[in-house]
Structure 1
């Protein structure tokens, strides 16, 4: 019996590398990791706040966490904001984030939920670019 053929991924563009080459995204779950990221680099945009830190532990995976305070609204609104943050992270981080870094995406009241999806993607790309660009101090 012949093995089934692998299906091509319709979401990949012509110039995009296959998904297997992208670094793996892991989810932050320990409070200490969130606190470490909150004391490191940060960049605010209209739709979100990005906190980032280099781990230097030899683990090449990109780790990402999501947080939304009660300022966002009730549980339904917070969950909606976190779902939007997770989705933009899946779309942007594999291509623009650096391995060995922790990222925390923080939702902003009203903006994270109401902002257009394309604008949120642009916000995350911009914040990553600013965090990883050399400072001009």
Structure 2
């Protein structure tokens, strides 16, 4: 499936499971509009998990949508390196949205932030380009 199609219909998705091993984040989502489970694999090394919501059993806390942000359009760059905003309020907003995962990274190496957004950012990670993400229909073995 094409990533852009999934982004457009990912509202009210349910996070079923997730894992991270050997540089690969694996997410299984039930996408309501498709009535299917999708497996999203992302090659990444910088992650954030919100264990407060992820540890909850109720589906309400696992309801989310996918957001992908182009970091160069959001974060401040100095010498090709992402840096925190000089404004405290903007800096706090960046941290809340997990953009801080890119601080200190070269803009040529990290270009995007992937987030599952529900009550907060449930899972966030940075990645280099769209080729780092594979979306496929989930087939339980």
Q: TM-score, normalised by structure 2?
A: 0.31
Greater helix share, 1 or 2? Answer: 1
Q: TM-score, normalised by structure 1?
A: 0.32
- Decide which structure has the larger Cα Rg and report it: 1
Greater strand share, 1 or 2? Answer: 2
